């Protein structure tokens, strides 16, 4: 543009990659599934990854400043013959302070898709709500519900652009689509895995222990409910950063149902009574 040329800035703009490379006809359109639209402006000049790495990864941080993100939570999901079980705790912690015991760690994207959240609450809530928006737009454009693999791929593609910039998100996308029940683990590094059983968060090891010892694909529905509930309960019992209530969902062919929301204190007494 003429004014930029007169000021002598246009040369500098070109050097630093500010010229619009793509003509307007070829710009990102609604077929790119939000993969290429940058959600956040990233500061010019400094590579955010290298800037943040010493702050988050090293022991002492930089000049005593450290960004330490705790992943206080336990979530789990597993596939079995009657669909997918999803169970989460509901404690949100900031360090050793419990912010709330009633946090919703499962986002209901649509009647056939659920997303769990672990890691930084803000990151999870933001990106999964963005995913829900993309899923709704997909349904409007294509007149059919998005598949679980596509939804998880979208989420993975959205966050991989911010890899190394301090996001913290570990989520499981569960759903039922034309291909049957689907379960994917997606995290902030862009890892996307399909599987039969996942557990995330600080209490995941405890949950895995209980789940692995009781899991069979041929579980009946009440057995699966019991296994999922027990796994979360035992994790909340031993992990300081998990607690509150156990929220359980069952993904069936006709969509998900919320099975139960039980306080872990009451579960403790119920399981203790069983032993007697």
Partner 1 sequence: MSARYDRAITVFSPDGHLFQVEYAQEAVKKGSTAVGIRGKDIVVLGVEKKSVAKLQEERTVRKICVLDEHVCMAFAGLTADARIVINRARVECQSHRLTVEDPVTVEYITRYIATLKQRYTQSNGRRPFGISALIVGFDSDGTPRLYQTDPSGTYHAWKANAIGRSAKTVREFLEKNYTEEAIAGDNEAIKLAIKALLEVVQSGGKNIELAIIRRNQPLKILEASEIETLVAEIEKEKEEEAEKKKQKKSS
230-264 as b/e, with b when 16 or more CB fall inside 10 Å?
bbbbbbbeebebbbbbbbbbbbeeebbeebeebeb
CB-nearer residue toward partner 1: 139 or 216:
139
96 scored as a contact of partner 1 (CB under 8 A): no
Looking at the Cβ atoms of 4 and 55, the one nearer to partner 1 is: 4
Q: Does 56 bind partner 1 (CB under 8 A)?
A: no
- H or E, element range at 236: helix 221-238
Give me the sign of the Cα torsion angle 110, 116, 122, 128. Answer: negative
Member of 8, 15, 22, 29 binding partner 1 (CB under 8 A)? 29
153 binds partner 1 (CB under 8 A): yes
User: Which of 17, 19, 63, 276 contacts partner 1 by CB under 8 A?
Assistant: 19
Give the count of residues interacting with partner 1 (CB under 8 A): 22
Footprint on residues 192-221 left by partner 1 (CB under 8 A): none
Q: What is the pattern of x (binds partner 1, CB under 8 A) and - over residues 132-151? A: ----------x---xx-xx-
Identify the three-state secondary structure at position 185.
Answer: strand
Q: Smallest gap, in angstroms, from Cβ of residue 30 to partner 1?
A: 8
How many CA atoms lie less than 13 Å away from 136 in the CB half-sphere? 9
The rounded distance, in Å, linking the Cα atoms of 21 and 219 is 56
Point out the residues that are catalytic: 73
Residue 110 contacts partner 1 per CB under 8 A: no
């Amino acid at each position: 543009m003429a004014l930029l040329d007169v000021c002598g800035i246009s040369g500098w703009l070109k050097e630093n990659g500010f010229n619009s490379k793509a003509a307007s006809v070829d710009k990102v359109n609604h077929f790119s599934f939000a993969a290429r639209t940058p959600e956040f402006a990233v500061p010019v000049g400094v590579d955010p990854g290298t800037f943040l790495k010493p702050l988050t990864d090293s022991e002492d941080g930089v000049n005593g400043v450290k960004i330490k993100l705790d992943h206080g939570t336990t979530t789990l999901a597993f596939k079995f013959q009657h669909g997918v079980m999803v169970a989460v705790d509901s404690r949100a912690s900031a360090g050793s302070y419990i912010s709330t015991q009633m946090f919703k760690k499962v986002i209901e994207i649509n009647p056939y898709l659920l997303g769990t959240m672990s890691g930084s609450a803000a990151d999870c809530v933001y990106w999964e709500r963005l995913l829900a928006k993309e899923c709704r737009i997909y349904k409007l454009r294509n007149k059919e519900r998005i598949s679980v693999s596509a939804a998880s791929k979208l989420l993975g593609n959205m966050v991989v652009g911010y890899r190394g910039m301090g996001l913290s998100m570990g989520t499981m996308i569960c759903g039922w689509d034309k291909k049957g029940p689907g379960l994917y683990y997606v995290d902030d590094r862009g890892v996307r895995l399909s599987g039969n059983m996942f557990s995330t968060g600080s209490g995941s090891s405890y949950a895995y222990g209980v789940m692995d010892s009781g899991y069979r694909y041929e579980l009946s529905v009440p057995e699966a409910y019991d296994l999922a509930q027990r796994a979360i309960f035992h994790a909340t019992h031993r992990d300081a950063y998990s607690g509150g209530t156990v929220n359980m969902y069952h993904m069936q062919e006709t969509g998900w149902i919320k099975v139960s929301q039980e306080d872990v204190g009451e579960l403790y007494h119920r399981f203790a009574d069983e032993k007697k």
